[in-house]
């Protein structure tokens, strides 16, 4: 099985599980747990062609919609205390939460950027972390 087939098999399995209404199995990404429009935005679309976007570009494109106004408690990009607190769980955990979604999808998978690669989502997390100044003291 090559990687594309493997991904296809996983997606197919997820679709079958999802349509049966079964709860997401522990340890799996939050795909099955997403609801309504959040299913829409999680679905990995055609990978975007061209140069990867910078963290700032991804932030401006999607993350800002909630993070700039702290919608539903989204940490503000300039909030060093909040980002410092969250960074203590580990940056890889922060990035995982950004990719898979977090807290019952209040933070939606990929921040709603369906065509963002993992690296682009990571860059956007790093952009907010750096901008907040939370990384300086680490």
Residues lying near ligand HEC in the complex (CB under 6 A): 58, 62-63, 65-67, 71-75, 86, 94, 97-98, 102-103, 106-108, 110-113, 116, 121, 124-125
Name the residue number minimizing CB distance to ligand HEC. 111
Cβ of 31: how many Cβ atoms within 10 Å?
21
Minimum CB distance to ligand HEC smaller for 32 or for 116:
116
Work out how close the CB of 127 gets to ligand HEC at its nearest, in angstroms, rounded to a whole number: 8
Work out how close the CB of 88 gets to ligand HEC at its nearest, in angstroms, rounded to a whole number: 10
- As a whole number of angstroms, the distance between CA 64 and CA 77 comes to 8
Work out how close the CB of 90 gets to ligand HEC at its nearest, in angstroms, rounded to a whole number: 9
Minimum CB distance to ligand HEC smaller for 17 or for 38:
38
Q: 3-state SS of the chain?
A: CCHHHHHHHHHHHHHHHHHCCCCCCCCCCCCCCCCCHHHHHHCCCCCCCCCCCCHHHHHHHHHHHHHCCCHHHCCCCCCHHHHHHHHCCCHHHHHHHHHHCECCCCECHHHHCCCCCHHHHHHHHHHHHHHHCCCCCC
Which of 51, 86, 80, 73 lies closest to 96, judged by CA?
A: 86
Minimum CB distance to ligand HEC smaller for 32 or for 96:
96
Minimum CB distance to ligand HEC smaller for 17 or for 82:
82
Work out how close the CB of 18 gets to ligand HEC at its nearest, in angstroms, rounded to a whole number: 21
Minimum CB distance to ligand HEC smaller for 32 or for 55:
55
């Amino acid at each position: 099985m090559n990687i594309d087939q493997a991904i296809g098999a996983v997606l197919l399995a997820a679709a079958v599980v999802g349509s049966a209404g079964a709860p997401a199995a522990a340890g799996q990404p939050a795909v099955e747990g997403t609801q309504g429009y959040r299913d829409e935005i999680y679905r990995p679309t055609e990978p975007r062609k061209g140069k990867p976007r910078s963290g700032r570009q991804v932030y401006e494109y999607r993350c800002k919609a909630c993070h700039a106004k702290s919608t539903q408690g989204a940490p503000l990009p300039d909030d060093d205390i909040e980002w410092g607190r969250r960074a203590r769980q580990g940056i890889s955990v922060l990035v995982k939460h950004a990719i898979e979604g977090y807290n019952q999808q209040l933070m939606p998978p990929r921040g709603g950027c369906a065509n963002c690669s993992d690296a682009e989502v990571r860059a956007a997390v790093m952009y907010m972390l750096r901008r907040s100044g939370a990384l300086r003291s680490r």
